[in-house]
A and B are shown apart, each in its own frame.
Chain A
Amino acid sequence: MADLVSTARRAESIACAAEPFHPLLGPTSARDLLAWVAAELGDASALDRWFTHGGARTKALAPDVILHVVSGNTPHAALQSLIGGLLLGSRNLVKLPGSGLGEVDAFLSRLPAELRAMVEVSVELPDGWLSSANAVVVYGSEQTVAALRARVVPGKTFLGHGHKSSLGVIWHDPLFESCPGAARDASLFDQQGCLSPQVFYVREEYPGSARQYAEKLASAMDQFSGTHPRGPLAIEEKAAIANLRAAYRFRAAGDLRVALWEGGAHLDWTVIYEEDAWFTASPLNRVVFVKPLPQDLARAMGPAVDYVGAVGLWPCTEELADRFAALGPSRFCPVGNMQDPPWTWHNGGVPRLASLVKWVDFEPSSSLTV
């Protein structure tokens, strides 16, 4: 029987179970997971033993029970949240979306029995789960997050991850080298994730370069689609994309400031160029806008500025990150890597492990007080 008392042992078992999920999760070795613990808690064994903290010693205490409420179509977010809970050594209650999440089931089946026993899943929210959890992590719409937050007693740890919109900024790319990565970012997970870019803002180094970028991006979207086809669409999703295409087709017929590239007979992908810089939310499923970068991007974001998830940059420099700080994302990263957040990413601007733990300090007796 595996000894799962130590963080290192749990990390090894989790890493082993997570192996088939690297396309969803990125690198997930035991080393990666322990580096995450060390980055957030100050020491990879902070949950297992006392370590120096100022003039004293301290130890992290994981919540006994964590309730994870996860949304549909984002299995990676569900797995990340669950893996965090397992790494901490907590018991995990996972409320899955109504349709379930096959990836979570598959991951659980690969866990050793001792770790598997630390997880319960349900597509309903059973009575008592909210009250028995010491910490609640929710992924969902604002309404879902608000509704659950209202049901959690004050003082209990609550981490709400509402829906976010992400975007890319192409600052300098004369050879359109970022297009394949931009297409990957906008296509993976069919744009359902909070890190999925919906608009690429392109700095116009010469007139027409943003439009040209849109054309190149369309070609890259097509290529990506050839090797990674889009998932099935519900009728509502089909209608949303087809209606948007129809609307822009109408506009493009009489307005040169608008252009449309439509991929495939089956709504495979859509690129829309629009001179108006106002942030336009995508109906998702590989519909992406390209717009010239305005002077004041935060202003052009309108109400969406309160919901920015990640900003992809090309090139990705600290100087550019500082320039676009007003967008308030929790992540700047290179275009092409938007869907590969490191485990240490502060999702929603907060440390994901450190926000869940509490601390107990130990001050050894000194010779004076003996």
Chain B
Amino acid sequence: MVQAWIRQPESRSFDEILPRLHDFHYLHNAPYRAFCQSLGVDSLVARWRDIPCVPQSAFKHADLRSFPATETVQTFRTSGTTGEGFGQHHFRTLEVYETAVREGWRHAGLPSGPFLVIAPHPEEAPHSSLSHMLATLAAKEEFIAPRGVIDLNRLRDLSAPVCLLGTALGFLHVVEGLRSERIVLPAGSTAMETGGYKGSGRYIERADLYTMIGEKLGIAPGNIINEYGMTELSSQFYAKGPRGLHESPPWVRAVVVDPVTLQDVAEGETGILLIYDGANVGSVVGIRTQDLAVKRGNAFELLGRDPSALPRGCSRAADEWLTS
């Protein structure tokens, strides 16, 4: 049902599908049911906005699996900070996930290939949702960084436009690996970068990274796309250019809300992101992310978790452990 809906989103309304998924999760997912009950939410909800959003960190502490564990075909893991463990997102089937990846890509009007991927292949990173997502789009031979070593010759030898896919850190390594060299990729080439710099001790503003990619690879910053996704979701958001806004695919709703009241913020105001992902069939639909965003019409401007934005004194706070 969901897979068909993702292929033809206009065929059913959001309020038709998501409450049914919630009902299914409520019945088959004990931690989720306990959470709903603690909030006084029943298995039956009328509107998708009535579905409670599970905190993103709950994937670290609870088995949010809406099917028997023995039927698990794939588990994606988040990177975890010391002592906290990592989050796990289990799947009974990857068909819906992969359909969401392909349809989301198509819906955003992104190029259909050929690709070159600056990230580990799933064989090297079997629990990485990002690697799996990239492998859903690109063929194995298009991964050009086996064992973390980027084959720059694959970039030098190009004769036709390509779409580079990779992590922000991967692109940074490409740019730095070229030293004084500049490779002008064939006209029409594009790039998609994703992920942060967690654990690397590096951080570069998106606009600065795009300028660097533009200078080193000849891809105009306006042709570089940012992907926003997370292990706990099955769908992705894309934003074009250094200041582009992220838009949801039709089977997903992203809502910017006040962190305390969970009411929608006004246009142009900042809040936290709630995401209702209709492709999350085997876990939970509503996720309360830890990311800040600005409401921009039906899209959002991602601020992310920026520890440097926190004013503080000399007390070592939670966020600081993430950057050390």
Contacts and interface: CB of A to CB of B under 8 A. Distances in A.
Q: Is the A/B pair a real complex? A: yes
B259 A238 contact: yes
Tell which of B31, B288, B311, B317 has the most Cβ of chain A within 10 Å. Answer: B317
Contacts of A235: 259, 270-271, 292
A121 B270 CA distance: 33
B260 A307 contact: no
Given A239-B272, A254-B34, A303 B321 contact: yes
A124 B251 CA distance: 49
Nearest to B57: A247
Nearest to A139: B314
Nearest to A161: B314
Nearest 10 Cβ contacts at the A-B interface: A74-B313, A192-B313, A253-B38, A242-B259, A163-B316, A254-B34, A73-B313, A194-B314, A281-B318, A239-B259
Contact of A251 (B61, B83, B319): B61
Interface in B23-73: 30-31, 34-35, 37-38, 54-55, 57-58, 61-62
12 contacts: A97-B311, A163-B316, A164-B314, A198-B315, A234-B311, A238-B260, A240-B319, A242-B272, A243-B55, A250-B54, A254-B31, A303-B321
Interface string A105-137: 000000000000000000000000000000000
Interface in B115-139: none
A236 B292 contact: yes
Contacts of A281: 316-318, 320-321
Contacts of B312: 71-73, 163, 192, 284
A304 to B, nearest CB: 8
Chain B contact residues (Cβ within 8 angstroms of A): what range?
35 or more
Interface of A: 71-74, 77, 97, 99, 139-143, 161-166, 189, 191-194, 196, 198, 234-244, 246-247, 249-255, 265-267, 278-284, 302-304, 307
Contacts of A267: 260
B310 interface: yes
Interface in B248-267: 259-260
Nearest to B64: A250
Nearest to B81: A303
Contact of A193 (B54, B272, B315): B315
A39 to B, nearest CB: 23
Contacts of B34: 253-254
B63 to A, nearest CB: 10
A266 B320 CA distance: 24
B309 interface: yes
B180 interface: no
B62 A303 contact: no
A246 B314 contact: no
Given A247-B55, A281-B317, A252 B83 contact: no
Contacts of B321: 281, 303-304
A284 B317 contact: yes
